[in-house]
Structure 1
């Protein structure tokens, strides 16, 4: 099946997604009979991975997807780049690598959960699901390839970001959260590492392994069970830490922590003891961003601090209100920037 024929078989998508797909096709160049080996160098995290299965080789073929690059290992998942067999565009393949039976069983459930979540979504701030395969008794999630870097990579390089850029990221992720909320989905793992920043400026929220659907009977994954692998205590809301019933406002808290880090270069509560960090999220009020850095506008600082209120009822009310506030703050930041330029 050629690319054009396959495009006609795809489910309906909104205009933004269509544009995004055609841009990806344009960037990937003409269809090739054999995919290009984009890189043979693995960009992997350090750590003890002896309990994991070895990676598949560059050039290894899985249901027509030929691996072109070993991208990373993250939370006992291996991430590969490959070429879609029909569209001839880059895609990401994500699979569980752990050998340990209990962990492997849990991670496979998370991968299956991510598949089920992405199947319901059709939004340009959320990655598209292309396929779900099994190879050598290993399930594989095939999703949209997002070029460039994650927010965490950007922060490692730049330490902090200008308020206007932080607000732009907040606006894009709020769009994603609005789409999730409409489907009664709570992400539960918002952090810089799960926010991708492609060149077109449309930030994408990734990694739905811990997401839950509110209207389904669901037993929350005990975060402490694998906290060294999957838990992210530094970004969790108080209600998530206490294993209470969650709604979309829990994700706003985690987004607030992320924005706080973008503005200040620090987390609201830092340290090496995860239990102590969790308790501080429940009990303590963090120092405001504008108290750490006087150049941060107080209005932006107050917006982030409202996201970090302990009680969900004291946070924002709805996504439309959040978007309106962000627009107003961006306008204020732009006016201040213009005034500064003119004064010089």
Structure 2
């Protein structure tokens, strides 16, 4: 084949972009439709080639076209056309402007992919496999080089050159006879190696090999000798991935090892089940990370976090205009005692001060009492009553009690809508908080709908670049990330940062908050070097305008440590967190939540470095301190409890680990509900401990109960 050749008077070959055992792949122009395509041409056989071999290769090529053309899924490369031109068989496919997973690994010098990237890729591959298997197609050569990730994050499986259609078993058996090796040794299932019957579960084994390599940087059996690799696939259990990369979660490790079961019956039985397990792991990774994202930027009050609008104190609440008149019309018949109202205003302000000090449990109690007293004195829909309920919702949210927070915000929204109208700024502010609470409850689709509606109202009434409109768009970007729409999240946050820079200035706190979100999303996209550079810019800007010891500057420094850890630079991350904890203790106190967060980062990185005794000591101290400062069932406290249990497990102290895992599971069940993904993850942790203790029957029973809940939840969701 050569450049500028025209296939069937339509496809102009432009550039050779790949060459393999079966043929060549060219970048080409579809001159009929004016689009770029990829054209795969069967490599011409030498005249001395075995005719039977040549015929088999031709049949394989034709079958690839037939199989690929039968598949229509966003995770499968699209086939546009197939035919023969002047003795050359060709296959016309969509042109993918991306890199395959092998290239991604090699770009990083075999450094494993970040866990968020790995989970995103894995979920997409599982969905594509579930579809192909449902069509009766087995790929049989799944490997990193055959999985491509395009710039928008979409993952596609390609090269169905040795795929098997379920109804073509006899046909494919003839094509895979003696002397024709099918598959790639590092990713072949034991039954494929043995030449036995191969079904969709062989692909699942290969998928396990791919996940193992993405997670650790190397395939399960990484040797140069192909025969040695094949023997180990058949006879040797793989080294658990966490022995190579301790930061991996136990559920992810269990899934990979399940996929690598030697017998097909030992593996998960279909890709749909794998997808559900991956979704649960992803949910757990988002919610039980070193730092919950809702608190990542929460260091300088409501304005600093970029998730909430300005909140007027009670004495600043306007008692004039339409809102006051509507509320006053519904007042109690008796006049309120002015002295009582003054006392309540003072207590309201005291509760705000408690919140600023991080004493949220006390703040909740005071706001709750003031809200009830104001309701008794002024009525349920008086502006001051609603101001207290709004602040009560905020404090409840800070304690991780999202459902209670949502209940308060919904009351405020309903009352303000009646008094002021749905599009009044105060109503929209409360609606925006309901969306935030919905997101904390994992109801991201519901949150997205509310944010979209509020954004539309703000744009209509205030304009596209009003600060409150931009704040809502910022929130929308955050929630898009929680929906897994990371590229949209990144692009929205990037645009908000640019707009805030124009409107407010490049060094304004809100601009920097959005740049902070841009950096976070870059990390979620696996672009950790870019995220690191962005966070360091935010650190420099905040340090210049606020001072290096300002809480917001320190918050950005914390995220620099996250990036360093994700990049495998745990020694640097550990030093950063030690320094940060010392500064936090000096500036904010040893028991401040942010001081404890920095110490939590120390413990995580000690574990990554294999220093488990030190990691356990640090995690235990942080766990106890968080329980005292935040409450025993605050999400951060429970994350630290889990970190204690992980360290105990690594030290072989499974009895103690079981007790801690149960405390965490029960706490999450009370705070989040029995069906919440975090609760179910904790129950699986508990089951894993039972397994380690030899209590297999109890473990199986618990796994089954968790699986049943997840199945029921998935059925309800669909």
Q: Give the TM-score band, short-chain normalised.
A: 0.7 to 0.9
Please tell me whether residue 121 in structure 1 is matched to residue 71 in structure 2.
yes
SS in 2 for 1:117: helix
Aligned equivalent of 1:95: 41
- Distance in 2, Cα, partners of 1:225 & 1:340: 55
Pairs aligned (count): 287
Aligned residues of 1:163 and 1:300 also touching (Cα < 8 A)? no
Aligned residues of 1:290 and 1:301 also touching (Cα < 8 A)? yes
SS in 2 for 1:188: coil
Deviation at residue 224 of structure 1 after TM alignment? 6.7
Aligned equivalent of 1:271: 223
> After the TM superposition, which residues 111-260 of structure 1 pair with which residues of structure 2 at under 5 Å, given as runs?
111-158=61-108, 159=110, 160-216=112-168, 217-220=170-173, 221-222=175-176, 225-227=179-181, 231-260=183-212
Q: Over aligned residues, Cα RMSD in angstroms?
A: 1.8
- Distance in 2, Cα, partners of 1:246 & 1:231: 12
Deviation at residue 241 of structure 1 after TM alignment? 0.7
Cα deviations across residues 53-108 of structure 1 (Å, max 9, x unaligned)?
xx312x22112111222112122411101112332111111112242433433322
> After the TM superposition, which residues 282-301 of structure 1 pair with which residues of structure 2 at under 5 Å, given as runs?
282-301=234-253
Aligned residues of 2:164 and 2:172 also touching (Cα < 8 A)? no
> After the TM superposition, which residues 10-21 of structure 1 pair with which residues of structure 2 at under 5 Å, given as runs?
none
SS in 2 for 1:116: helix
Deviation at residue 261 of structure 1 after TM alignment? 0.5
> After the TM superposition, which residues 36-47 of structure 1 pair with which residues of structure 2 at under 5 Å, given as runs?
none
- Distance in 1, Cα, partners of 2:196 & 2:152: 38
Decide which of 30, 40, 43 is 1:84's aligned counterpart: 30
Cα deviations across residues 124-183 of structure 1 (Å, max 9, x unaligned)?
111111111222311011111111111111011122101221111111111111111111
Q: Greater RCO between the two (CA within 8 Å, min separation 6)?
A: 1
Deviation at residue 315 of structure 1 after TM alignment? 0.8
SS in 1 for 2:72: coil
SS in 2 for 1:91: strand
Aligned residues of 2:126 and 2:272 also touching (Cα < 8 A)? no
- Distance in 1, Cα, partners of 2:183 & 2:130: 24
- Distance in 1, Cα, partners of 2:188 & 2:178: 12
Aligned residues of 1:224 and 1:231 also touching (Cα < 8 A)? no
Deviation at residue 222 of structure 1 after TM alignment? 3.5
TM-score of the superposed pair, with normalisation by structure 2: 0.39
Relative to structure 1, is the Cα distance of residues 231 and 184 closer, same or farther in structure 2, using a 3 angstrom cutoff?
closer
Relative to structure 1, is the Cα distance of residues 224 and 206 closer, same or farther in structure 2, using a 3 angstrom cutoff?
farther
TM-score of the superposed pair, with normalisation by structure 1: 0.79
Aligned residues of 2:101 and 2:147 also touching (Cα < 8 A)? yes
Aligned residues of 2:258 and 2:268 also touching (Cα < 8 A)? yes
The more displaced of 85-94 and 182-191 is 85-94
- Distance in 2, Cα, partners of 1:151 & 1:254: 14
- Distance in 1, Cα, partners of 2:260 & 2:245: 18
- Distance in 1, Cα, partners of 2:231 & 2:44: 30
Please tell me whether residue 56 in structure 1 is matched to residue 2 in structure 2.
yes
- Distance in 2, Cα, partners of 1:339 & 1:223: 54
SS in 2 for 1:69: strand
Please tell me whether residue 73 in structure 1 is matched to residue 19 in structure 2.
yes
Deviation at residue 340 of structure 1 after TM alignment? 7.4
- Distance in 2, Cα, partners of 1:248 & 1:219: 15
Where does the alignment leave 5 or more consecutive residues of structure 1 unmatched? Answer: 1-54
- Distance in 1, Cα, partners of 2:148 & 2:177: 24
SS in 1 for 2:289: helix
- Distance in 2, Cα, partners of 1:164 & 1:82: 34
Aligned equivalent of 2:55: 105
- Distance in 2, Cα, partners of 1:224 & 1:268: 27
Decide which of 274, 283, 289 is 1:322's aligned counterpart: 274
Deviation at residue 338 of structure 1 after TM alignment? 5.1
The more displaced of 234-243 and 291-300 is 291-300
Relative to structure 1, is the Cα distance of residues 149 and 70 closer, same or farther in structure 2, using a 3 angstrom cutoff?
same
Give 4+ residue runs of structure 1 displaced > 4 Å after superposition: none
- Distance in 1, Cα, partners of 2:177 & 2:122: 25
Aligned residues of 2:69 and 2:80 also touching (Cα < 8 A)? no
Aligned residues of 2:140 and 2:183 also touching (Cα < 8 A)? no
SS in 1 for 2:171: coil
The more displaced of 217-226 and 131-140 is 217-226
SS in 2 for 1:310: coil
Aligned residues of 2:6 and 2:12 also touching (Cα < 8 A)? yes
Cα deviations across residues 27-62 of structure 1 (Å, max 9, x unaligned)?
xxxxxxxxxxxxxxxxxxxxxxxxxxxx312x2211
- Distance in 2, Cα, partners of 1:244 & 1:337: 43
SS in 2 for 1:317: coil
Relative to structure 1, is the Cα distance of residues 331 and 218 closer, same or farther in structure 2, using a 3 angstrom cutoff?
same
- Distance in 2, Cα, partners of 1:320 & 1:209: 24
SS in 1 for 2:71: coil
Aligned residues of 2:204 and 2:271 also touching (Cα < 8 A)? no
